[in-house]
A and B are shown apart, each in its own frame.
Chain A
Amino acid sequence: DAGVTQSPTHLIKTRGQQVTLRCSPKSGHDTVSWYQQALGQGPQFIFQYYEEEERQRGNFPDRFSGHQFPNYSSELNVNALLLGDSALYLCASTEAGGYSYEQYFGPGTRLTVT
């Protein structure tokens, strides 16, 4: 049974560019959350997707957007990249619309903006 998968593993982009990160949830999970983790910090909640809609959003600008597909996989898009967007981006999945206590994280995508 595959856990949460994310792609790509690493990514290097230039300021002003756009990036798309992908996440496939654990089998049986229907809810996907995205987190940003700056170096040496704890993860910060970006947003959560359930039933193909953004259900809750953290304190992130509109440059951060996402999508959830019918198979529950999800994408995180970041436009007009800034140096401060350099971070590890983690995807977490859970079942039961997010109310199960078990949240499984993927290995993350490490984004470097130069």
Chain B
Amino acid sequence: AQKITQTQPGMFVQEKEAVTLDCTYDTSDQSYGLFWYKQPSSGEMIFLIYQGSYDEQNATEGRYSLNFQKARKSANLVISASQLGDSAMYFCAMRGHGSSNTGKLIFGQGTTLQVKP
């Protein structure tokens, strides 16, 4: 069975500093994808970054980077130069690519990030 674990219920970071949000996963699929989403209080899930299991380089999207360590089954999100608008709930998610998977996402419990001015 696939599982995503986010062990940090809440995190604080000072504005302009970097922060790492942890994510570990479990899957028996050889091919899979890892996602990070941001969910502000409004409720909409905003796609941030994607890492494929066969991608050799860590994914980056602007201030977001994904620290992918396949052997450790971890996919931590790094946010550089935090901004007040980064305060939100962050979810790590996984999608398997096996024949039984059609694109459904398995989500972790989420981490609430608060950026302090």
Q: Which residues of A contact B (CB under 8 A)?
A: 31, 33, 35, 40-45, 48, 50, 55-56, 58, 88, 90, 92, 94, 97-108, 110
Contacts and interface: CB of A to CB of B under 8 A. Distances in A.
Interface residues of B, number: 27
A103 B42 contact: no
B105 A45 contact: yes
A42 B105 CA distance: 11
Contacts of B56: none
A22 B37 CA distance: 22
18 contacts: A33-B103, A33-B105, A42-B91, A42-B107, A42-B109, A42-B110, A43-B45, A43-B105, A45-B106, A48-B104, A92-B45, A98-B102, A98-B103, A101-B35, A101-B52, A103-B35, A104-B47, A108-B43
